[in-house]
Amino acid sequence: VKTIYSFAEGKAEWKELLGGKGANLAEMTRVGLPVPPGFTITTEACRRFFAEGERLPEQVARELREALDALQGQTGKVLGNPDAPLLLSVRSGAVHSMPGMMDTILNLGLNDDTVEGLAKQTGNPRFAYDCYRRLIQMFGNVVLGLDHFHFEQIMERHKQAAGLRLDTELSAKHLQAIIEEYQGFILEKSKRPFPQNPLEQLRQAVEAVFLSWNNARARVYRKIHRIPDDLGTAVNVQAMVFGNRGNDSGTGVAFTRNPATGEQKLYGEFLLNAQGEDVVAGIRTPRPIGELAESMTEVYEELMMFAKRLELHYKDMQDIEFTVEQGKLYILQTRNGKRTAQAAVKIAVDLVNENVITREEALTRIEPEMIERLLHRQFAELGERKPWVKGLPASPGAATGRIVFSADDAERWAKAGEAVILVRPETTPDDIHGILAAKGILTSRGGMTSHAAVVARGMGKACICGCEELRIDGKRKQVSAAGQTLHEGDRISIDGGTGMVYLGELPLIEPMLSAECEELLAWADEVRRLQVRTNADTPEDAKKARAFGAEGIGLCRTEHMFMDAGRLPVMQKMIMAETLAERKEALEELLPMQKEDFVGLFRAMEGLPVTIRLLDPPLHEFVPDLEELVVSQAKRESMGDMDPQQRKQQEQWIKKVRALSEANPMLGHRGCRLALTYPEIAEMQVEAIGLAAAECLSQGIRVQVEIMVPLVGHVNELKRLRQIIEGVLARYEAPNGSSIAFRVGTMIEVPRAALTADEIAAEADFFSFGTNDLTQMTFGYSRDDAEGKFLHAYVEEKILPENPFMVLDRDGVGKLIRWAAEQGRKTNPQLKLGICGEHGGEQKSIQFCHEVGLDYVSCSPYRVPLARLAAAQAEI
Ligand code: PEP
Ligand code: MG
């Protein structure tokens, strides 16, 4: 097999062999674009180079001479011939694009003789010497391993001596002197001269590019992007064209559509009389491409035509590098252009409407996370700005505001019209009003499924968790990190999508679901089998989710309803009750409020299913922290400002809170265990559901009630609670006298429930996999602590492939889900299956849910569009 192919011989499909760049150059040559001629040395040659002890195999050396002969024939120029010197570029080109990671040499073929020839031929000695200078510098760096810095220093000295500021001000004479010094420097440092024989230059350059596959940069890049280390790189050898030959020459970059907005209009920049490096180095500011239409009308029109052709050929927006040499346009490279989320959606939809790609192709081209990014506020432009500290990107979106250290302060400041960022070591359900009032949340502890993260995602608020560098002093209302101390009221900006915290206020842009995005998601709806519901606790969230396309509520966490400032005292009264009668009295007070909550949800969902979960968390979450109580008691005692009545009250609180406290509350008295030991709480909630349903039905609002029991591990738990639920609901009826239709189901979030799903399914109309707890209990990792403590390191060290609280663990937790789904359906073929853990809004996990045949996923409102797309992709 050959190891070298001319661009005219290659094919786009040979990407593995020719690398991405080589395959594209061949493809462009094949379709007749003006590509400077050249050839590609294959990745196979590179692998053999390494296999033979980093030596160019004899076959490759021979074919290299042959390819060069052919190229000389084609161009009418000869390597090393001063009368018609052939000059070459030698570039790496791996299968997976690794921008800037490997090496390139330009202007190869120049030596002390050919540079004179080039000067004479072009009538531009300065140009010729500048090319030669660049070659020696690149060769010294890439082949001989000498740092650029030394060369820059030499040049700097010459500029200073001549009193010049810019490289471009150096004359031919100056450049000649620099070239001499460069060559002397190379001889001195590397003990071998800069090779005057161009063939020798070429051989060494090819070897150096091969070797650059293994440089430190490239290795790190491959590690990050999980590119195998044994692929090797191809090398592209191409005749040089020069954009720096005068004002009829130039170089530039063009996108076939605007990469920021997706607008269908050629977009890009160019520089007259320049080489590509000048653009990259930022020495001169490029001009907008539209101006090319005026300075070189024909070139511009030709470029437009090629752009169109390339886009149709690759069926995607292209990023094209071009050079104009003395009025003639050359295309040097094309690739699918990078773009923003907004542009990606617009381009995909436009391409469908232009009949270039199919709807299914468009759907697979958009990363579901891109859709989520579109729904959150973003910073306008970050530029060079460095973050202050970094935490876990817990809930995407950008927020900026003044920092406060307590939920109450957040609420007060927000009421006064201030945008605030709530900064806490962690948040608890007591902080909910503060979270609601804040624009964003920043915590120093807790992971991606911590309270703050879950709540913030639910509300579509920016949140960064587990920012362990922060030293938060809530009492003195200050926070410090990285040698900076901020006080209450200071301004920061947080990006919940990246986990970056910035000092000061950054400008924001408002999000919008564009018309194109709506169109794309409508196509997704036609394709997908999985239904998409939402996790929502308030009518506002429910409405938002419906606007994003939710087809029901898959989880209403009723505990959030009791956190409201007006209700917490009643809830606490219920918890502190000494007798059943006292507790019932408090529950009576909660009943009408709870009923109103459900009426609101039923109304918002207009007949779509609403899954209401009975109270889940342990009761101590609703009362003040024990430590705080004891401390405040001691303080007030010492100040003597407590009357006996107050003291008694306070002591009772402490006693009660102590009695409620548990060593492992997440494994403790919560979920159905609470409902079975305090059935009156569950009864009140079900009564509220019955009242709300009857009221809605009497007003002509359809309702689909699903009551969900949390934390079931044994079938008897569900059996008992089902009886209670049925007993209560039997007391309510629809206006026509018929009973209220409802379904009773359970969360599957305790491993034993999954293992005994066949038994549990006999008592359940539906299962909803609570993968937050199921992951916690299957791994035995605390969902609130694991990330900051060790999970982060586990993922970093590749002990775990992913964070299992973010991406569902197929091999472990997934096995339980698969088993429970199969066993459950065996007992009860009508059983509905869904998921409401955080994984219900994550792409790979949604794919898994599709594979195991769930009926729906449920996720926070802002993830609903993402889930619609991911569900469609799972089907395609
Ligand atoms: C779960 O455990 O996955 C779940 C949805 O319930 P919560 O997060 O409220 O514990
Ligand atoms: Mg749970």
- Mutate-to-test residue for ligand 1 from 451, 533, 537, 616, highest number of ligand atoms within 8 A of CB: 616
Ligand 1 nearest atom to the CA of residue 773, by list position: 2
pLDDT, position 534: 98
* 269 contacts 252 by C-beta, under 8 angstroms: yes
CA of residue 638 relative to chain centroid, distance? 53
Q: What dotted CATH number matches 378-509? A: 3.50.30.10
Q: How far apart are the first and last CA of the chain?
A: 38
Of 192, 202, 195, 290, give the one whose Cα is nearest residue 238: 202
Mean pLDDT of 455-478: 87
Distance 605 CA to ligand 2 centre (A): 23
- Mutate-to-test residue for ligand 1 from 432, 557, 784, highest number of ligand atoms within 8 A of CB: 557
Distance 438 CA to ligand 2 centre (A): 25
Ligand 1 nearest atom to the CA of residue 454, by list position: 8
372 lines ligand 1 (CB under 6 A): no
Is the pLDDT at 649 greater than 70? The verdict is: yes
Conformational region of residue 186, where left means phi above 0, alpha means psi within -120 to 50, and beta covers everything else: alpha
Ligand 1 nearest atom to the CA of residue 555, by list position: 5
Distance 692 CA to ligand 1 centre (A): 25
Mean pLDDT of 585-608: 96
- Strand stretches in 179-296, DSSP E: 233-239, 250-255, 267-272, 287-288
Our CA angle for 313, 316, 322, nearest 5°, is: 75
Of 581, 604, 557, give the one whose Cα is nearest residue 432: 557
CATH 3.20.20.60 corresponds to the domain 528-618+662-875: yes
Q: Whose CA is nearest to atom 10 of ligand 1?
A: 773
Ligand 1 nearest atom to the CA of residue 557, by list position: 9
- Mutate-to-test residue for ligand 1 from 772, 774, 839, highest number of ligand atoms within 8 A of CB: 772
Please provide residue 402's backbone torsions phi and psi, each rounded to the nearest 5 degrees: -95, 140
- Closest ligand relative to 771 C-alpha: 1
In the beta sheet, which residues pair with residue 103?
none
* Number of neighbours of residue 607 by Cβ within 10 angstroms: 12
| Rounded (10°) angle between helices 172-190 and 148-161 | 140
Is the pLDDT at 513 greater than 80? The verdict is: no
821 lines ligand 1 (CB under 6 A): no
Percent of the chain with pLDDT over 70: 97
In the beta sheet, which residues pair with residue 472?
479
Distance 545 CA to ligand 2 centre (A): 21
Q: What dotted CATH number matches 250-339? A: 3.30.470.20
771 lines ligand 1 (CB under 6 A): yes
- Split at pLDDT 50, 70, 90, the class of 597 is very high
Cα–Cα distance, 87 to 84 (Å, whole number):
9
Distance 663 CA to ligand 2 centre (A): 18
778 lines ligand 1 (CB under 6 A): no
For residue range 736-793, what is the model confidence (pLDDT) as tens digits? 888 899 999 999 999 999 999 999 999 999 999 999 999 999 999 999 889 889 998 9
For residue range 540-577, what is the model confidence (pLDDT) as tens digits? 999 989 999 999 999 999 988 887 777 888 999 999 89
837 lines ligand 1 (CB under 6 A): yes
Alpha carbon separation from 682 to 8, 687, 688 (Å, rounded): 76, 8, 10
* Number of neighbours of residue 53 by Cβ within 10 angstroms: 6
- Split at pLDDT 50, 70, 90, the class of 5 is very high
Mean pLDDT of 686-708: 96
Mean pLDDT of 112-121: 95
Which one of 1.20.1250.20, 3.40.50.150, 3.30.1490.20, 3.40.50.20 gives the CATH number of domain 45-239? 3.30.1490.20
CA of residue 341 relative to chain centroid, distance? 11
Cα–Cα distance, 286 to 523 (Å, whole number):
40
Q: Which range has the worst mean pLDDT, 370-379, 417-426, 653-662?
A: 370-379
Looking at per-residue pLDDT, the higher value among 357 and 428 belongs to 357
Please provide residue 399's backbone torsions phi and psi, each rounded to the nearest 5 degrees: -145, 150
431 lines ligand 1 (CB under 6 A): no
DSSP state of 790: I
Cα–Cα distance, 56 to 61 (Å, whole number):
6
- Closest ligand relative to 559 C-alpha: 1
What are the residue ranges spanned by the domains of the chain? 45-239, 250-339, 378-509, 528-618+662-875, 619-661
Distance 190 CA to ligand 2 centre (A): 66
Mean pLDDT of 472-501: 93
Pair of tokens at residue 603: 């109304």
- Strand stretches in 512-604, DSSP E: 531-535, 553-557
Looking at per-residue pLDDT, the higher value among 385 and 814 belongs to 814
Strand-strand pairing, 766-769 and 500-503 = unpaired
Q: Which range has the worst mean pLDDT, 10-19, 202-211, 421-430?
A: 421-430
Cα–Cα distance, 439 to 453 (Å, whole number):
14
pLDDT, position 671: 97
268 lines ligand 1 (CB under 6 A): no
Ligand 1 nearest atom to the CA of residue 772, by list position: 3
Residue ranges of the alpha helices (H) in 699-740? Answer: 715-729
Contacts with 842 (C-beta within 8 Å, 6 or more apart), sequence order: 806, 807, 808
- Split at pLDDT 50, 70, 90, the class of 282 is very low
Please provide residue 265's backbone torsions phi and psi, each rounded to the nearest 5 degrees: -160, 135
Mean pLDDT of 340-364: 94
Is the pLDDT at 359 greater than 60? The verdict is: yes
Alpha carbon separation from 290 to 280, 486, 497 (Å, rounded): 20, 47, 35
For residue range 73-83, what is the model confidence (pLDDT) as tens digits? 999 999 999 99
Mean pLDDT of 596-610: 97
Distance 711 CA to ligand 2 centre (A): 7
Our CA angle for 444, 449, 450, nearest 5°, is: 40
Distance 97 CA to ligand 1 centre (A): 41
- Residue tagged 């359970």 (tokens): 746
* 672 contacts 745 by C-beta, under 8 angstroms: no
Q: Whose CA is nearest to atom 9 of ligand 1?
A: 557
Mean pLDDT of 21-26: 94
Residue ranges of the alpha helices (H) in 191-296? Answer: 198-212, 216-225, 276-281, 292-295
Q: Whose CA is nearest to atom 6 of ligand 1?
A: 770
- Split at pLDDT 50, 70, 90, the class of 845 is very high
Distance 710 CA to ligand 1 centre (A): 8
pLDDT, position 285: 63
Pair of tokens at residue 684: 């009140």
Mean pLDDT of 147-173: 89
The CA dihedral of 812, 818, 823, 827, to the nearest 10 degrees, is 140
836 lines ligand 1 (CB under 6 A): yes
Active site members: 451, 836
Ligand 1 nearest atom to the CA of residue 768, by list position: 5
pLDDT, position 357: 98
Q: Whose CA is nearest to atom 3 of ligand 1?
A: 770
Q: Whose CA is nearest to atom 1 of ligand 1?
A: 770
Cα–Cα distance, 453 to 433 (Å, whole number):
15
3-state secondary structure of 177: helix
773 lines ligand 1 (CB under 6 A): yes
749 lines ligand 1 (CB under 6 A): yes
Cα–Cα distance, 29 to 5 (Å, whole number):
12
Alpha carbon separation from 809 to 108, 448, 812, 844, 849 (Å, rounded): 52, 15, 6, 10, 12
Residue ranges of the alpha helices (H) in 528-579? Answer: 539-547, 568-576
Residue ranges of the alpha helices (H) in 213-340? Answer: 216-225, 276-281, 292-295, 297-314
- Split at pLDDT 50, 70, 90, the class of 393 is confident
For the chain, what is the radius of gyration of the CA atoms? 34
Cα–Cα distance, 63 to 71 (Å, whole number):
12
pLDDT, position 278: 62
Residue type, 572: Q
Distance 774 CA to ligand 2 centre (A): 8
Distance 746 CA to ligand 2 centre (A): 11
- Mutate-to-test residue for ligand 1 from 537, 553, 747, 839, highest number of ligand atoms within 8 A of CB: 747
616 lines ligand 1 (CB under 6 A): yes
pLDDT, position 511: 65
Q: Which range has the worst mean pLDDT, 105-119, 454-468, 538-552, 609-623?
A: 454-468
756 lines ligand 1 (CB under 6 A): no
pLDDT, position 448: 65
Ligand 1 nearest atom to the CA of residue 837, by list position: 3
770 lines ligand 1 (CB under 6 A): yes
For residue range 403-432, what is the model confidence (pLDDT) as tens digits? 999 999 999 999 888 999 999 998 877 788
840 lines ligand 1 (CB under 6 A): no
- Residue tagged 């994550």 (tokens): 842
For residue range 435-462, what is the model confidence (pLDDT) as tens digits? 889 999 999 987 766 777 777 876 768 8
Mean pLDDT of 497-506: 91
Please provide residue 442's backbone torsions phi and psi, each rounded to the nearest 5 degrees: -135, 120
Of 547, 603, 611, 559, give the one whose Cα is nearest residue 862: 547
- Split at pLDDT 50, 70, 90, the class of 508 is confident
557 lines ligand 1 (CB under 6 A): yes
